[in-house]
Chain A
Amino acid sequence: MTTATVEDGPLRPGALLRVEDVVVEFPAPGGRVVHAVSGVSFDVLEGETLGLVGESGSGKTSIGRAVMQLPPPRSGRVLLDGVDLTTLGRRQVRAVRPRLQMVFQDPLSSLNPRRSVRGVVGEPMRVWNRSRPDIDARVDELLSAVGLDPAAVGDRRPSQFSGGQCQRISIARALVLEPQVLVCDEAVSSLDVSVRAQILNLLLDLRERYRPTMLFIAHDLSVVRHISDRVAVMYLGKLCEIGPAASVFGGPAHPYTAALLESVPVPDPSVRPSDEEVLDGEPPSPVDPPSGCRFRTRCPRAQPRCAEEEPIMRAVAPEQFVACHFPLTAGAPRP
């Protein structure tokens, strides 16, 4: 494997999960194309948590699904431990599936309402023909790990539980096969603050205990900051910035990251937001994305060059990469 160079952008050797130049497209009416993800690369080291943030429609879920091969991306590579999943046949993908699991946003609709909790959590193991006592022991272990009493809840149905409890059940189910990679897509977004705090604590506990490699997708920046080692920021199908959580949140280099951070309401009444707009307008359509830098139509720093030339990912600080011609860092060219 090659060592990281500027051309490689943010990719590091030896990562457990490596996403290379992934493209996801959907058909749009009139024979047009939704450019949901347009050439995105990142990686996640073993045991690391990468937070993925960005506006609605920026392609976060599409990337998560591409990693899971649900469906495989239109082009690009997804390497798990060096094996490119996109080249595997259906049977081979099925064989690696247990190593990748996804937790979805809406806990209730992702659980089979006719099955008991025990059945729901144990199902992935049954598919893999594990023995009954093995399944029972593992299901008990995981229900306890997510804070549910197996004896009390095992025989009840998901519809009898609250949103937070259902999210615990789907996390238990995702972990039952000891996946190497866990993709959490807005796993806490629909929950109340107090329940959200419980689930976040649970994820932090499970991370210490099982060290899964996590791709944590969320639009709530305070949550992402709290749980991630590294953070990747997306805008309209492109990666704008990636780096250690402390660097990206502490010193955002991409104008979009900066605007995003400034838009987050601070839970402190002494910090009053100014009357000035952080960012004008709304994201353009992914059917017809702007030329050059996709953020340029809303960017306060945009220059003619931004429309002509697409910015490539480059390092602005150790481990911190940004795709912008005029990033917000000391010593960088000013527009």
Chain B
Amino acid sequence: MTAQSAPVLEMHELRTWFATPEGPLRAVDGVSLGVEPGRCLGVVGESGSGKTVLLRSIVGLLPRRAIASTGGTVCFEGLELAGAPPAVIRDVRGRRIGMVFQDPMTSLNPVMRVGTQLTDGMRHHLGVGRQEARRRARALLEAVGIPDPERRLRDYPHQLSGGMRQRVTIAIALACDPSLLLADEPTTALDVTVQSQILRLLGRLRRQRNMAVILVTHDMGVVAGSTDDLAVMYAGKVVEQGPTATVFSATRHPYTRALLEAIPRADARPGERLATIPGQPPSLVDPPSGCRFAPRCPRAADRCRAEEPPLAGADGHRFACWFPLGDPEPPAAAT
């Protein structure tokens, strides 16, 4: 592997619990991850595993009233974001950290022209003049592959197709030349041909600008083709993490393997049954003791139900499992 520079972002034991009538819901429960300039970190996991809450926790974009407690640290370019005054976070957000979410309509203002939405951030954060902002906006739209940018600047979001809207939100996210881009399922709502265009675009822009990207997705294909590093989340925790190629080829956590085996592979016999994960994701209000995956894990033994496995490993590949794949099977499961 090449020498790595200092991370742009480093989270340590990040925690976000929501207040619910049943008690605190541990949406993100002690996550430590980092991402270096120019690299793409993928975050995968089942629905409800905490991917979106993790991204939103980084930039403080969560409803304050819903939060029961938070903890941990988020260090962004030497600046501590966790617990920073709202004005500081607001300044970082949209300028040095760009954001793209799944549904472009929720991040675009429906009654504002595309041009205004693109130039507002630049004028506010960078203090550039009207003309200059306009010029940069045109260049950005061109960079994200929108033909006839001059006309598009005057359009409202509803006048654009889904793929074009997502390109516009990417252009807005990039307007102030951020060093980190947070992308939450940016292509889930799009067709595969448009998805492949957007992913290639993100890859190109990341390399050109040496920008770090955190890409949340539940598509293992997207992860394989677009990320350098990968974090697998289960029930609010990272269960396995490392270089994407290593996590795929030398999978250690049983949950990661289950996720990989549940997708139909091109070389499978037609009609072959797929591997499934028995049971359902656990309650985040009252999570199982020990390893949270134990109730569904084929390798689970007594120790798994009693003690929580730490996220540990070597060479940047870490996993939270007492009996990882590749090690001998635990006594209970071997019988």
Contact = CB atoms under 8 A, between A and B. Distances in A.
Interface of A: 55-56, 162-163, 192-194, 196-198, 200-201, 204, 219, 221-223, 225-229, 245-246, 249, 259-260, 262-273, 275, 277-280, 282
A301 B46 CA distance: 40
Given A194-B277, A198-B276, A201-B274, A264 B221 contact: yes
A154 B25 CA distance: 29
Contacts of B276: 194, 197-198, 201
Given A197-B274, A222-B263, A259 B193 contact: yes
Contact of B271 (A193, A226, A273, A275): A226
Given A194-B259, A273-B200, A279-B193, 18 more contacts: A55-B192, A193-B218, A193-B259, A194-B46, A197-B263, A200-B274, A222-B221, A227-B271, A245-B270, A262-B196, A265-B192, A265-B196, A265-B221, A269-B244, A272-B225, A273-B225, A277-B200, A282-B163
23 contacts: A192-B46, A192-B47, A194-B258, A200-B274, A204-B273, A223-B264, A225-B264, A226-B274, A259-B193, A265-B196, A265-B199, A265-B225, A266-B221, A267-B220, A267-B223, A267-B265, A268-B248, A269-B224, A269-B244, A272-B225, A273-B196, A273-B199, A282-B164
B204 A282 contact: no
B192 A264 contact: yes
Contacts of A273: 196, 199-200, 225-226
Contacts of A55: 191-193
Nearest to B197: A277
Contact of B248 (A225, A228, A269): A269
Chain B interface size, under 10 / 10 to 19 / 20 to 34 / 35 or more:
35 or more
Contacts of A229: 270
Contacts of A225: 264, 266, 270
Q: Of A219, A222, A223, which is in contact with the most chain B CB atoms at under 10 Å from its CB?
A: A222
A152 B276 CA distance: 22
Given A197-B274, A226-B270, A268-B224, A263 B195 contact: yes
B161 A275 contact: no
Interface string B229-271: 0000000000000001100110000000011101111101011
A221 B196 CA distance: 14
Interface string B134-173: 0000000000000000000000000001111000000000
A116 B221 CA distance: 38
B282 interface: no
Contacts of A270: 245, 249
B162 A56 contact: yes
Given A200-B264, A204-B271, A265-B199, A271 B191 contact: no
A7 to B, nearest CB: 31
A216 B194 CA distance: 22
Nearest to B261: A197
A228 B271 CA distance: 8
B224 A282 contact: no
B268 to A, nearest CB: 7
A193 B222 CA distance: 13
A298 to B, nearest CB: 9
B105 interface: no
B80 interface: no
A42 to B, nearest CB: 19
A30 B263 CA distance: 45
A249 B193 CA distance: 16
Contact of B203 (A162, A223, A275, A279): A275
A266 B271 contact: no
Contact of B273 (A163, A201, A260, A277): A201
Given A55-B193, A263-B196, A197 B262 contact: yes
A162 B221 contact: no
B177 interface: no
B120 interface: no
Contacts of A228: 270
Interface in B37-66: 46-47
A261 B229 CA distance: 25
Contacts of A200: 264, 274
A149 to B, nearest CB: 14
Interface string B187-227: 00001111111011001100000000000001111111110
B280 interface: yes
Contacts of B197: 277-280
A282 B220 contact: no
Contacts of A56: 162, 191
B79 interface: no
B180 to A, nearest CB: 22
